[in-house]
Amino acid sequence: MKSLLSMVAVCAIVVSSSPAMAQTYDSPEYTDEPASYIVLCDCNTRAKRTRIQRAIVRAGGEVVFAYSELGGFAVTPQWDVDETRFVQKLVRIPGITSVEYDGQASIQ
């Protein structure tokens, strides 16, 4: 019984680590969903957070989630917004320190 369990565990590991089974998405064009970005900012007060959130909306984005511990937001562009220009607009907002694509990460 012990050897049968060991064999099942080994098979599960081999199947789950098989390159044919793995799917990775490096860029947003593989999904129907708009890209999501992690925007970090110098927003340690309510007034700064509100000002930056409003600027994100004016740039064509939507704040999906606020990361109070990190000092930032998860942001998606509106459907009719060019994503390259959107990111350029985000970077220029005073107080924003970083804009990174929020995607799946994997080690291969």
- How far apart, in whole angstroms, are the C-alpha atoms of residue 88 and residue 64? 19
Q: How many CB atoms lie within 10 A of CB 76?
A: 20
Number of domain units in the chain: 1
Per-residue pLDDT at 71? 92
Per-residue pLDDT at 90? 96
Is 10 contained in some domain?
yes
- Run of H or E residues at 5: helix 2-16
Is 106 contained in some domain?
no
Per-residue pLDDT at 108? 76
Mean pLDDT of successive 10-residue segments in the chain (108 residues)? 42 40 42 80 92 96 91 91 92 95 80
Per-residue pLDDT at 31? 53
Domain that holds residue 91: 2-101
Per-residue pLDDT at 53? 96
What's the number of CA atoms in the CB half-sphere (13 Å) around residue 27?
3
Quote the DSSP letter at residue 35: P
Contact yes or no for 41/75 (Cβ under 8 A): no
Is 29 contained in some domain?
yes
